[in-house]
Structures are given as structure tokens and as C-alpha cells.
Amino acid sequence: MTKPLPCYHVKSASGVRLYLESGQSLIDGMSSWWCAIHGYNHKELNDALVKQVNLMSHVMFGGITHDPAIQLCRHLIEMTNPKLECVFLCDSGSVSVEVALKQAIQYWDSKGQPEKKKFLSIKRGYHGDTFGAMFVSDPENSMHSIYSSYGPDNIFAEAPQIGFHDEWDEADIEDFKTKIEKHHKIIAAVILEPILQGAGGMRMYNPQYLKRVRELCDKYDVLLVLDEIATGFGRTGKLFAQEHANICPDIMCVGKAITGGYLTLAAVISTRNVANVISSGRTGCFMHGPTFMGNPAACAVSVKNLEILRTGTWKSQVLTIENILLKKFKPLMETGHRKIKEIRVLGAVGVIEMNNPIDVALYQKRFVELGVWVRPFGKLLYIMPPYIISEKDLNHLVDALISVATDDSLV
């Protein structure tokens, strides 16, 4: 590599702190890319993992099942919309998107409509790094634009512009409406991130947009896939972001926080109709079966993670984080700053969007000097801390974020 970014050597982690080889400790503002919602070295999660490893670390998930997988699927069905009844376990978030796309294509093939194989998504979206996921992510404004000529030619509507807290304007859905009206006969599914577009810009859009998408999918006989990989399990203040709009998808992807950040695992949860149509087709089953799907160790720690979530403590934790973010950001939101374009808050997500792209290495170095771990990108300084963060640590984290954002010596 000609210009590698600095890499900080972590030796251990506990609670909300990362301990570096240098001896320095950092308050983690990223939840390790949004998955470690209960922090690190959590005793109950540790115990669940060790107990399962001592019984069985892995077994193939073809013709065989096991208690952790059964318990996990039950939890997911009970925690999600009652219409979502069928679970398919996957290896990672990106793979869950691949599975969802394949399910949508196989659904229409089973119905004798194989021409419905394109996908409609919205710009500024991000759905993963594998090939299928890349080609339903923004083809122009993402890190995958270099690959755009190699994949399928999917359909993209303009990104929603009306913010989460702003007054709804029906004009915001017009481009999406035009695209689905024109192409619905070849569209297998719409796929988007509900309410919060994550890696595509940390954009928070109006719930009414999502309601209208659901209505248009129903009107034009198109499946709706919701990518809740980043938003699921409480991050936006609702257990799942779709609840802000009170809708249900046909297929939903979850990942990241599903194991509390311990092991890679994801799931695709679909309606009974989707599962029945797929299984009634020419193959008789869904055609996907990776080696490590349904890994017992990952499922066991996920079960314990979801049991912790189901106690409901996350609600007050996320609300506290949101209130502190709003309180700390309020003076800056009122006065503004020449370097800052916008400040956004939703649930346990705080975003400062700068006017210009930042020097990631320089900004990150300053964050480390201030004793926090923040991973900026593009024009964005943002935090998505573990839910267990104390008010003292969160105040320090937000102070560091504001300090760096308003430092005129940083460009």
C-alpha cells in the first residue's frame, strides 16, 4: 500500500473501552461498526459462548438442526412483525442481502414470472460488499462505483430528501413512484434501508416515505426487502426501524448486532407466502447452503444477546443516549459553524456532516489523542456507541466529537 491509514493495535476490550498495546484506553464510539451493542467482554455473552463451544462448536446445517438455532429462530419470529414467520440463517450481513435477493428472484421464478429479476433501490443506499449486494447499492456515490460496469443493470430512484423530523412532502416519493410504475413488470423486489441510510451517508429520512414505498409495492405486485442490518435491534429507538412507519416487509435482513458483536451471523426473515411460493417451485427448496450457516456457537451467543434485549433495558439506554446527544449538540445546532453542514440525531446515532471531505487519518489521530475511538468517513463524523455507555463516557465522547468538528486547524 502506498498511503496506508494508521492502524491502532488493540490488545483487549471491556465494557465500552478498547485497550491499546501502547497502554492507552479509548471510549468506543462505533460499537465495532455498530454491532457491539452491549459492549465488550460481557459476562453473560461470554458464558453462553463458552458453554456452547464445550458442547459443539460447529455442525453442518443440512439435514441437521440443533437447539441454539431453534431457539434463535423462535426469538426472531417472536420479536419481529407477526407476518414474518420463516427464518433463514446466514453467515454475515452481506450474505443475508444475497440470500434476500435470491429469494426474491426464486419467488417469481416459482410463480412462472422469471422476467421479474431486476431490483429497484434508492440512491445513497448501501447493502454490503459482496457482488449482489454491491449492485443494489448506490452505483455512483459509493465505494463500489469502480465495479459498476461488471454487474446487473438494476434500477435506482433518487434518495429521499425529507428528513426524519421534517414535514412530509409527497413530491419526495415521485421519482420512486415513476420508476416502479414504469418497470414493475421486470422488478422482483424493492430493497432499501428503512429510515436510516448507513454507510451511504448516515441519512435519516421521513417515515412517510417508507409507508408510501410499501403501498406502491403492494399496488404494483413487487416484493419489499428491508435491510435492517444496521438499524435492527434498537439502534434508531425502535426495535426495528420499520416500526417508525408501522409497516412490514416481505423479506427482512438482520445482522450486525444479532450476536452482540461476538461472532458473524445474520438472518433473513420472510413471510409464509414467500417461503411457500419458493418451496412450491421447480427446485422444491431455496437454493442456498453455505458451510457455516447456523453455526451453533454464533447461534448460542445470539440467543443470549436477544434474551438481554428482550428484557427491554435497551429502550431506556437508547433514549438516554438520544437525549444526551440532542442536549450536547443543541448549542452548535443553534449557532452553526462554518465547517458544518448539518447535525442529525436519531436514537443512539449522532452525526455531524461537514461541508467538505475530511482527512480521515488526521481526524482519527486527533480523536485518539482525546481518548475516543471514532471512525470518520467522507464528510461524516458520527457515533453509534454501545447502549451500555455511561452518561459520563458519552459526554466525553460527544465533547470530543464537537471539539474535532469545530477545530479550525483541521481541514
Q: In which band, very low, low, confident or very high, does the pLDDT at 1 lie, cut at 50, 70 and 90?
A: low
Report the C-alpha gap between 305 and 316 in whole angstroms: 17
Cell of residue 283, nine digits: 427446485
Question: How far is residue 161's CA from residue 4's CA, in Å, rounded to a whole number?
Answer: 35
pLDDT at position 125, please?
Answer: 94
Give me the percent of the chain exceeding a pLDDT of 70: 99
pLDDT of residue 3: 76
Mean pLDDT of all residues belonging to the chain: 96
Q: What is the pLDDT of residue 411?
A: 75
Question: Looking at residues 15-30, what average pLDDT do you find?
Answer: 99
Predicted local confidence at residue 152, as pLDDT: 84
Mean pLDDT, rounded, for 323-339: 97
Whether 138 contacts 200, CB under 8 Å: yes
Q: What percent of the chain has pLDDT over 90?
A: 92
pLDDT at position 95 is 97
pLDDT band at 149 (very low <50, low <70, confident <90, very high): confident
pLDDT of residue 151 exceeding 90, the answer is: no
pLDDT score, position 4: 82
Q: How many CB atoms lie within 10 A of CB 316?
A: 10
Per-residue pLDDT, averaged over 193-220, amounts to 98
Q: Kindly list the structural domains of the chain, giving each domain's residue range(s) and its CATH number in brackets, ordered by start.
A: 10-30+342-406 (3.90.1150.10), 46-311 (3.40.640.10)
Instruction: State the Cα–Cα distance between residues 369 and 24, nearest whole angstrom.
Output: 9
Q: Residue 204 in contact with residue 343, Cβ under 8 Å?
A: no
Write the pLDDT tens digit of every residue in 274-314: 999 999 999 888 989 889 999 999 999 999 999 999 999 99
CB 167 within 8 A of CB 127: no
- Cα separation, 194 vs 213, in Å, equals 10
Give the pTM: 0.96
